[in-house]
Amino acid sequence: MIMKLLISNDDGIFAPGVRILANTLAKAGHDVAVVCPDRERSATGHGLTLHQPIRAEIVESVFDPAIKAWACDGTPSDCVKLALWALLESPPDLVLSGINQGANLGTEILYSGTVSAAMEGLIEGIPAIALSLTSFSSKDFQPAAEFATSLVAQLVQNPLPELMLLNINIPAVKAEDIAGVAITRQGVRRYVDVFDKRIDPRGKTYYWLTGEVLEDVEPPAGLNLPQHLPLDMHVIQKNYISITPLQYNLTYSTGLERLSDWKFKFP
């Protein structure tokens, strides 16, 4: 069965990850459309463009000839929203985002344009997959693309039981060195945020945000996550592919229970 796929990213239309992903899926026989930012838009979260027009231009000679592709001057979320409401003739069966250059693990997903693009599909009622290669230097996206292709084939036969987003991180190793696939919980990744203070040629002070991972820790116990499942960042260290199911509803269920007995008085 052929699936109609919409692919986006946050690394931009000319990034090798999206090109390899789209071409691999098209060669597998799927109907692929690509709508990506016209430049890198990493760490934009779920931002939308509201105060200026959004433009999209058809891109040729970048992807397989069977793929129709657009470059959009908006955010990753803009790209998917524009595709679903204006560019595509009919809705896709699945939205994919990536393959991102660099991991999206733990609380990094809150800032991730890759995950946000996929989440936009989920908000519109379409299951979605976010794919990330856990390296900022490796250019070997083929194992990740092959895994995505096998997963899509599996979803053709066995669709997701519920509407969800699968956040997938693939270790940056050769295919034969991947240890397996693990269903994981989202962990908490804490950073040491460092603002590098600099002076521009005009003598003005500016700051450049950098940061290093301080520690990876367990999420709060009150989230009631199944403790027998490993954390996403832990399995990556053992060369497993991590798959974490996500949703867009951020309601804190334990919080609802704890607040139910509160007595509010106003005014």
Considering the domain architecture, whether residues 199 and 153 belong to the same structural domain is answered as no
Q: Does residue 260 belong to any structural domain of this protein?
A: no
Report the share of the chain in percent with pLDDT over 70.
94
**Higher pLDDT pick, 221 / 147:** 147
SS3 of residue 206 by DSSP: strand
Q: Using the predicted structure, report yes or no on whether residue 191 has a pLDDT greater than 70.
A: no
pLDDT at 264: 86
- For residue 212, the 8-state DSSP code is E
Taking alpha carbons only, the member of 72, 161, 66 closest to residue 120 is: 72
In this structure, the answer to whether residues 231 and 205 fall within a common structural domain is no
Q: What is the DSSP-derived secondary structure letter of residue 163?
A: S
Q: Are residues 37 and 144 in the same domain?
A: yes
Residue 200 and residue 75 share a domain: no
Segment 6-49, tens digit of pLDDT: 999 999 999 999 999 999 999 999 999 999 999 999 888 888 98
> Of 69-78, 87-96, 160-169, 206-215, where does mean pLDDT reach its minimum?
206-215
The DSSP code sequence of 29-73 is: T-EEEEEEESS--TT-TT----SS---EEEE-SSS-TT-EEEEES
Residue 81 and residue 114 in one domain: yes
Average pLDDT over residues 125-147: 96
Residues 160, 207 within the same domain: no
Which pLDDT value is given to residue 223? 64
The Cα–Cα gap between 67 and 60 comes to 9
Q: Are residues 236 and 135 in the same domain?
A: yes
Q: Cα–Cα distance between 247 and 255 in angstroms, integer?
A: 17
Give the C-alpha separation, 71 to 57, whole Å: 5
Q: Residue 102's domain is classified under what CATH number?
A: 3.40.1210.10
Q: List phi, psi (to 5°) of 246.
A: -125, 160
Burial of 263 (0-12, 13-18, 19+ CB in 10 A): exposed
Share of the chain above pLDDT 90, in %: 76
Q: Whole domain around residue 207: which residue ranges?
A: 189-217
Q: Is residue 254 part of a domain?
A: no
The pLDDT tens digits for 42-85 are: 888 888 989 999 999 999 999 999 999 999 999 999 999 999 99
Q: Is the pLDDT of residue 127 over 90?
A: yes
Output the DSSP codes for 62-103. SS-TT-EEEEESS-HHHHHHHIIIII-SS--SEEEEEEEES-
Residue 263 lies in a domain: no
Peptide bond before residue 267 is cis, with ω within 30 degrees of 0: yes
Can you tell me the distance from the alpha carbon of 76 to that of 10, in angstroms, rounded to the nearest whole number?
Answer: 5
Q: Would you state the pLDDT for residue 245?
A: 96
The tally of domains found in the chain comes to 2
Residue 35's closest CA among 101, 120, 108? 120
Rounded to whole angstroms, the Cα distance separating 236 from 231 reads: 9
| pTM across the whole model | 0.91
Q: Do 127 and 211 fall into the same domain?
A: no
* Predicted local confidence at residue 231, as pLDDT: 92
In terms of domains, do 115 and 210 share one? no
pLDDT in tens, 207-254: 988 766 665 666 666 666 677 889 999 999 999 999 999 999 988 888
Residue 39 lies in a domain: yes
pLDDT, residue 266, reads 85
Of 267 and 97, the one with more pLDDT: 97
Whether the Cβ atoms of residue 30 and residue 1 lie closer than 8 Å to each other: no
For residue 110, CA distances in Å to 57, 124, 214 come to 29, 19, 17
The answer to whether position 103 is within a domain reads yes
Answer whether residue 12 is part of any domain.
yes
What is the reported pLDDT for 213?
A: 66
Share the mean pLDDT of the chain: 92
Per-residue pLDDT at 216: 67
